[in-house]
Amino acid sequence: MIDMHPLTHALEEAWRTVTMAGVIGDPIAQSLSPAIHNYWCNRAGIEGVYLPIRVSDTQTDFDLALDGLRQIGFAGVNVTMPHKARAFGVGTQTDTTSKLIKASNTLTFTQGGIEGANTDGYGFAAALRAQCREHHSATPSRALILGAGSAASAVGVGLLTAGVKTIIVTNRTCAKAEVLASLLTQQDDQASIRVVQWQDREHIEADLVVNATSLGMRNKPPLSFEFGAVPGTAIAADIVYDPLETPFLRRAGARGLHTFNGLHMLVHQAVPGHHRWFGIEQAFDDDLYAHLLLTIEGTAKTGPFVIGLTGSIGMGKTTVAQMALEAGVPVWDADAAVHRLYGKNGRGAGALKAVFPGAVGTTGVDRTKLAALVLGNPKKMRQLEAIIHPLVAVDRALFLREVERQGFARCLLDIPLLFEGEFAASCDQTIVVSADAAVQRERVLARPGMSAAKFEAILAKQMPDAEKRARADHVIRTDCTLAETRAALLCVLSGTKDLATR
Contact 329, 321 (CB under 8 A): no
End-to-end CA distance of the chain: 26
Task: Compute the C-alpha angle 250/199/214, nearest 5°.
Answer: 45
Identity at 5, one-letter amino acid code: H
Contact 341, 349 (CB under 8 A): yes
Among this protein's residues, is 344 annotated catalytic? no
CA-CA distance, 489 to 476, in Å (whole number)?
A: 7
Handedness of CA 151, 157, 162, 168 (dihedral sign): positive
CA-CA distance, 501 to 6, in Å (whole number)?
A: 32
H/E segment holding residue 209: strand 208-211
CA-CA distance, 365 to 323, in Å (whole number)?
A: 30
CB burial of 226-251 (b: ≥16 within 10 Å; e: otherwise) equals ebeebeeebbbbbbbbbeeebbbbeb
Q: Of the listed 84, 369, 380, 461, which one is catalytic?
A: 84
Task: For residue 217, give the DSSP letter.
Answer: S
Q: At what angle do helices 59-71 and 378-405 cross, to 10 degrees?
A: 50
CA-CA distance, 199 to 197, in Å (whole number)?
A: 5
Handedness of CA 77, 80, 82, 83 (dihedral sign): positive
**In 3D, which of 343, 345, 370, 368 has the Cα closest to residue 356?**
370
H/E segment holding residue 143: strand 142-146
Q: Are strands 208-211 and 106-110 parallel, antiparallel or unpaired?
A: unpaired
Contact 476, 412 (CB under 8 A): no
H/E segment holding residue 24: strand 19-25
Strand partners, 422: none
User: DSSP of 294-336, one letter per residue?
Assistant: HHHHT----SSEEEEEE--TTS-HHHHHHHHHHTT--EEEHHH
Active site residues: 84
